[in-house]
Structure 1
Amino acid sequence: MPYTYIVECKDGTYYTGWTVDLEARVKMHNEGKGAKYTRNKRPVKLIYWELKEDRSQAQKRERAIQKMNKSAKVQLVQQMSK
């Protein structure tokens, strides 16, 4: 099952992506093999994820989250931790 996720980079910025293996993807980011954006912002920490029914839904949710401003993303992350 695919996930949409947010990682927090060492500089406090957020990166949003999607994957079918959350643990492996975060590991890739931290090894510098993930997204170009996160390569110089390691380590990253997984702070949010959503399980989706299929790849298409995960990608749509990724795009929706990417369009959010930082405060909306912070609220999303805080909702998960409740």
Structure 2
Amino acid sequence: MRSLQFMPLRSLAYQQGYTQTELADAAGLAPSTMNARLQGRSTFRAEEMQRLGHLLGIAPADYCKYFMPSEKRTGGRV
């Protein structure tokens, strides 16, 4: 089952026509590292948030909405 974490970020990227590989390139990450970030297995670093925020038009004040996990890592409900 696909993780529901980072759905606002995934949705915004999809709406703007970006693939996960393009997001990885923009953030300066390997595609596998971007996948780990989007799966919640590792956290976004500040410089990655800034690069992706610039690409996608995300204001710094909204970073927590897009770059923080949207579900608990324990698998429980929010």
The answer to whether the superposition gives a TM-score over 0.5 is: no
The two structures have a TM-score, normalised by structure 2, of 0.29
Greater share of helix: 2
TM-score by length of 1: 0.28
